[in-house]
Amino acid sequence: MADYQHAFADALFDPSKPVPAGLVGPDGLPAGRRFDIYRNNVVVALIEALGDAFPVVRAVVGEEFFEAMAGVYVRAHPPSSPRMMFYGADFAEFLESFPPAAGLAYLPDVARLEYARRLAYHAADEPAADPSVLAGLDPAAISQVQLALQAACHIVCSAHPVHAIWRFNATKDKSPVQPGAEDVLVSRPGDAVLVQLLPPGGAAFLLELEAGEPLGVAAARAAAETPEFDLGASLAGMFAARIVRTISV
């Protein structure tokens, strides 16, 4: 009976594989259809878990399409850990290369946004830094300051109106979705996860800070890339969203 689990696991995800030898029904005859209960349980459970994690992707493509698409995904990408809240980490990449969804170019970024919300929800509880320490500093010192962001903070950059698509499907705000690129900040300032549209250059600024660049360098790079970048507004937004964990002078 050694190594039957390998054949069992293989056959679970591939209905074309035969039922593993040695499994018997109550009559002592080969188990046949009863093995399909496990096949069904596993795939149904995984599709459901994926739908719970990506409700906006599901809403956009519709129940039937989602189920078929998720069925392909779960067989090709079974979870690597029993922590099912983190299942679907590469669902966005899968969507990028899933031909039937190619017409929905924004879909992978919607999935990235939903996964970022999951990560934010379960991230470590961290205090937010008090911005008043910046008030006593001269401009030269401020430009050298490093701002560390909280683990709950995630930035999703998109060439599509990903915030509006998410907002339209996940909230009561049904104002029309306008075309255009959108960057999104996902954070958890209190008990609830917050999804906010970032101003122009805001994402680049946060990503530079996240990479460890001092405030002056991050601001200069964001402004070089996006002339309308507004440092004051970005800083105010960051502290309002309580995403700064520490301020190192």
Q: What residues line the site for other proteins (CB under 8 A)?
A: 1-6, 8-9, 12, 22-28, 31-35, 37-38, 41-42, 45-46, 49, 78-85, 120-126, 151-152, 188, 191-192
Q: What is the arrangement of strands in the sheet containing 154-158, beginning at the earlier edge strand?
A: 154-158, 182-187, 194-197
Task: For the CB of residue 7, give the shortest distance to other proteins in the complex, in Å.
Answer: 10
Task: For the CB of residue 3, give the shortest distance to other proteins in the complex, in Å.
Answer: 6
Which residue, 32 or 100, has its beta carbon nearer to other proteins? 32
Which residue, 26 or 62, has its beta carbon nearer to other proteins? 26
Which residue, 35 or 106, has its beta carbon nearer to other proteins? 35
Task: For the CB of residue 20, give the shortest distance to other proteins in the complex, in Å.
Answer: 10
Which residue, 195 or 222, has its beta carbon nearer to other proteins? 195
Task: For the CB of residue 186, give the shortest distance to other proteins in the complex, in Å.
Answer: 13
Which residue, 104 or 123, has its beta carbon nearer to other proteins? 123
Task: For the CB of residue 89, give the shortest distance to other proteins in the complex, in Å.
Answer: 13
Task: For the CB of residue 209, give the shortest distance to other proteins in the complex, in Å.
Answer: 21
Q: Which of 44, 222, 212 shows the shortest CA–CA distance to 144?
A: 212
Q: Which of 135, 120, 123 shows the shortest CA–CA distance to 235?
A: 135
Please give the angle made by the CA atoms of 77, 81 and 83, to the nearest 5 degrees: 115
Calpha distance 212→55 (Å, rounded): 34
Number of neighbours of residue 32 by Cβ within 10 angstroms = 11
List C-alpha distances in Å: 125 to 3, 115, 128, 201.
43, 18, 10, 28
Which residue, 4 or 105, has its beta carbon nearer to other proteins? 4
Q: What 3-state DSSP class applies to 188?
A: coil
Calpha distance 187→210 (Å, rounded): 14
